[in-house]
Amino acid sequence: MGEVKLIASTESLFCVRIEWALKLKGVEYKYIEEDLRSKSKTVILEYIDETWKENPLLPQDPYQRALARCWAKFVDEKCVFGAWGACIAKGEEKEKAVESALESLAFLEKQIQGKKFFGGEQIGLLDLVAGWIPHWLNVMEEVGGMKLLDAEQFPSLHEWAQNFIHTSLVKECLPPREKLVNYFNASVSYMHSLAANK
Amino acid sequence: MGEVKLIASTESLFCVRIEWALKLKGVEYKYIEEDLRSKSKTVILEYIDETWKENPLLPQDPYQRALARCWAKFVDEKCVFGAWGACIAKGEEKEKAVESALESLAFLEKQIQGKKFFGGEQIGLLDLVAGWIPHWLNVMEEVGGMKLLDAEQFPSLHEWAQNFIHTSLVKECLPPREKLVNYFNASVSYMHSLAANK
């Protein structure tokens, strides 16, 4: 085994037990604090980028790095949850939720215009973070009975999605579509049952 | 670096991007599937136990192993969320939530009777999983304005909590109490604001 790194949050009662287990085993480890409240879901990607230097995920320039991180946060906080919100919304809330999801995608459309990847000529951090769009969003659309990534409304984002998903390393890791459909159908039913019991 | 292991769920759009990053970097890794829906929060502990043999966390006997896992699930699903539910409940729901949390703790009280640790003479998996009780539960009690781990009502569990928290390796990893109080206060306020906006 190489060096063990524990990415954890000091406040989490689910993390501390892992630390105890490593100590019990006498395993040396490096503790890396992640503030769960900041919802920084890119921390593992940044860690990977710092550990292995080939194919850099973030730009060299500090300003460009900050921008890429900012967009990654936008995708996680607005686009992912926007699409999910539209997927589970029902009745009169549906239209509003779909509109809100479309607004977020419009920002991404502007961002990708004239570029092959968000990272430029190569796949970068933001491509990975937005990488759920070609596969997962399509499933959310089916399960939620709505269209979000329309090729006419978002031509550049649609083209990027096709480029990205046909990259061989991306294709290799995609879960079967049918499995995702079942998973999202079950999740949506669960969310609706929670709302019904309120 | 030693062998990289990725513990992930195929359905998760937050996990797949990490897999893509590792592939981009050309990093060999072992993929370990974790079904997020099964909420098996002990998977990392079991992985640690299998990787490093000293101080076994689980018993040798298959039946005893299954029992320990079953109790770990009970602690995560009933005790942790029971205490948290009691912490955030307000008004007439408070009493019901506290009662339900106490019922779960009563099962643990029976389980620890006559033993030093849940694992017997040594700390085992279930001690780690229940290890939030002496530190975190106390904070939840303060923040939620309630008493759950009463020394008279739960004498054995209370004694275990004292033994456990005074073990040196356990003490070393505890976050400062004040930090936890702030964290839980903020979380409770957040939950209440969500409920108010329903």
* Contact between chains at B20 and A173 (C-beta distance less than 8 A): yes
Give contacts of A49 with chain B, Cβ < 8 Å.
21
Q: In chain A, which residue's Cα lies nearest the Cα of B27?
A: A52
**Nearest chain A alpha carbon to B122:** A24
Please tell me the distance in Å from A71's CA to the nearest CA on chain B.
15
pLDDT for residue B107: 95
State the total domains in chain B.
2
Q: Which chain A residues have a beta carbon less than 8 Å from that of B136?
A: 13
User: Can you read off the two tokens belonging to residue B193?
Assistant: 């604001």
| Residues B165 and B84 placed together within one structural domain of the fold | yes
In this prediction, residue A198 carries a pLDDT of 43
Residue B40 has pLDDT above 60, yes or no: no
pLDDT, position B194? 63
| Residues of the domain holding B187 | 62-196
Q: Is residue B107 part of a domain?
A: yes
Residue A110 is assigned to a structural domain of this protein: yes
CA-based nearest residue in chain A for residue B10: A175
Whether the CB-CB separation of A82 and A100 falls below 8 Å is answered with yes
Same domain, yes or no, for A117 and A146?
yes
Which DSSP state fits A55? S
For the stretch B139-191, pLDDT in tens is 999 999 999 999 999 999 999 999 999 998 898 888 889 988 988 888 888 77
**A12 and A83 both lie in a single domain:** no
Taking the C-alpha atoms of residue B14 and residue B6, their distance in angstroms, rounded to an integer, is 12
- A42 and A79: one domain? no
CB contact under 8 A, A22 and B48: yes
Residue A12: the pLDDT is 78
- Give B1's contacts in chain A (Cβ within 8 Å): 2-3, 51
- The answer to whether residues A24 and A80 belong to one domain is no
Q: How far is A18 from chain B (nearest CA, A)?
A: 6
Contact between residue B196 and residue B189 where contact means Cβ atoms under 8 Å apart: no
Percent of chain B's residues with pLDDT above 90: 46
Nearest CA in chain B to A33: B175
Whole-number pLDDT of residue B21: 85
Task: Spell out where chain A has E strands.
Answer: 4-8, 29-33
Instruction: Give, for all 198 residues of chain A, the pLDDT tens digit.
Output: 567 888 777 777 777 888 888 888 888 888 887 765 544 567 778 888 888 888 899 999 988 988 898 898 889 888 998 999 999 998 888 999 999 999 999 999 999 999 999 999 999 999 999 999 999 999 999 999 999 999 999 999 999 999 999 998 898 888 889 988 988 888 888 777 766 644
The Cα of A115 is separated from the nearest Cα of chain B by a number of Å equal to: 19
- HEC sequence for chain B: CCCEEEEECCCCHHHHHHHHHHHHCCCCEEEEECCHHHCCCCHHHHHHHHHCCCCCCCCCCHHHHHHHHHHHHHHHHHHHHHHHHHHHCCCHHHHHHHHHHHHHHHHHHHHHCCCCECCECCCCHHHHHCCCHHHHHHHHHHHHCCCCCCCCCCHHHHHHHHHHHCCHHHHHCCCCHHHHHHHHHHHHHHHHHHHHCC
Q: Give residue A39's pLDDT.
A: 47
Using the beta-carbon criterion (under 8 Å), do A45 and B169 form an inter-chain contact?
A: no
B151 and B77 both lie in a single domain: yes
B23 is a domain residue: yes
Residue B134 lies in a domain: yes
Whether residues A85 and A43 share a domain: the answer is no
Listed in sequence order, the residues at least 6 apart from B150 whose beta carbon sits closer than 8 Å to its beta carbon are B158
Is residue B36 pLDDT above 60, yes or no? Answer: no
Q: Do B82 and B176 belong to one domain? A: yes
Boundary-marking domain end, from B29, B51, B73? B51
Chain A closest-CA separation from residue B113 CA (Å): 22
CATH number (domain holding residue A124) = 1.20.1050.10
Does one domain contain both A175 and A116?
A: yes
**Whole-angstrom Cα Rg for chain B:** 19
The candidate with the shortest Cα–Cα distance to A68, out of A88, A60, A13, A161, is A60
Cβ pairs A/B, distance under 8 A: 123
Q: What is the ipTM of this complex?
A: 0.70
Query: What residues of chain B lie within 8 A of the CB of A37, using their CB?
Result: 183, 186
Tokens of residue A195, six digits: 């709302």
Residue B57 included in any domain: no
Please indicate, yes or no, if residue A79 is contained in any of the structural domains: yes
A40 and A78 fall within a common domain: no
Residues B116 and B177 in one domain: yes
Backbone angles phi, psi at B136, to 5 degrees: -70, -40
User: Is A56 inside any structural domain?
Assistant: no
Are B39 and B104 members of one domain?
Answer: no
